[in-house]
Amino acid sequence: MGSRIVVLISGSGSNMEALVEASRRGDVPGEVVAVVADRDCLGLGIADGYDIETVKLEPDGFASREEWNAALRDRIATFDPDLVVSAGFMRILSPTFVTAFEGRLINLHPSLLPAFPGAHAVREALEARVKETGTTVHFIDNEVDHGPIIAQERVEIEADDTEESLHERIKEREHELLPRICKDLLDGKVRLPQ
């Protein structure tokens, strides 16, 4: 049996879908067994279309961020994941969660970290008038958009780029990069540095 992957999303789920497709083609030695979101979003419907179990766990239903993180940890643990992938998940994960999945918890971020961490990376790259940005896959630690970098892909910024057009070109790279890195992780070619 292949490895078990859980994907965390908050939006369209395009990277989750790219990972599901790669897995079903046999390019990734694992299966997306669950998609977890913090809100109603397009990606949950896409996951349903693939017959993947979905979970919606909204922070509003909990007394504190810490309680929500503990509930999220416990729910994801029921899937016995070999890999947990944050792909457009717009929540900060607490040490309670991060520690539980250490070494098998990665994030996809639309910039060349450490440049432009946070929720508005694409907009900030445009505002800074840099010539290029890109995408980063990294292990998650207890700081925002931080942790050991696994891989990066560069994307040139064009003169007429808008936030939307630039983000779409970054996503194209992400759709190739994320499955490749998941494969390397599940094959044991990449490990969290000690």
Beta strand 105-109 with 132-139: parallel, antiparallel or unpaired? Answer: antiparallel
Q: Which ranges of the chain would DSSP assign to H, the alpha helix?
A: 14-25, 42-49, 65-77, 95-100, 121-127, 163-186
Q: Which ranges of 26-162 would DSSP assign to H, the alpha helix?
A: 42-49, 65-77, 95-100, 121-127
pLDDT per position in the chain (194 positions), as tens? 589 999 999 999 999 999 999 999 999 999 999 999 999 999 999 999 999 999 999 999 999 999 999 999 999 999 999 999 999 999 999 999 999 999 999 999 999 999 999 999 999 999 999 999 999 999 999 999 999 999 999 999 999 999 999 999 999 999 999 999 999 999 999 988 87
**Residue 53 belongs to what domain range?**
3-186
Question: Is 192 part of a structural domain of the chain?
Answer: no
pLDDT given at position 2:
80
- Token code pair at residue 184: 């390397």
Alpha-carbon span 9 to 50, nearest angstrom: 15
Q: Which residue numbers are catalytic?
A: 109
Backbone φ/ψ region at 142: left (φ over 0), alpha (ψ -120 to 50), beta:
alpha
Question: Is 91 part of a structural domain of the chain?
Answer: yes
What does residue 40 show for φ and ψ, rounded to 5 degrees?
Answer: -65, 135
Residue with tokens 């891989």: 151
pLDDT given at position 1:
53
Question: Is 115 part of a structural domain of the chain?
Answer: yes
Domains in the chain, number: 1
pLDDT given at position 184:
96
Q: Please give the angle made by the CA atoms of 130, 131 and 137, to the nearest 5 degrees.
A: 80
Question: Is 194 part of a structural domain of the chain?
Answer: no
pLDDT given at position 92:
92
Q: pTM of the entire structure?
A: 0.96
- Residue 60 is part of a domain; what is its CATH number? 3.40.50.170
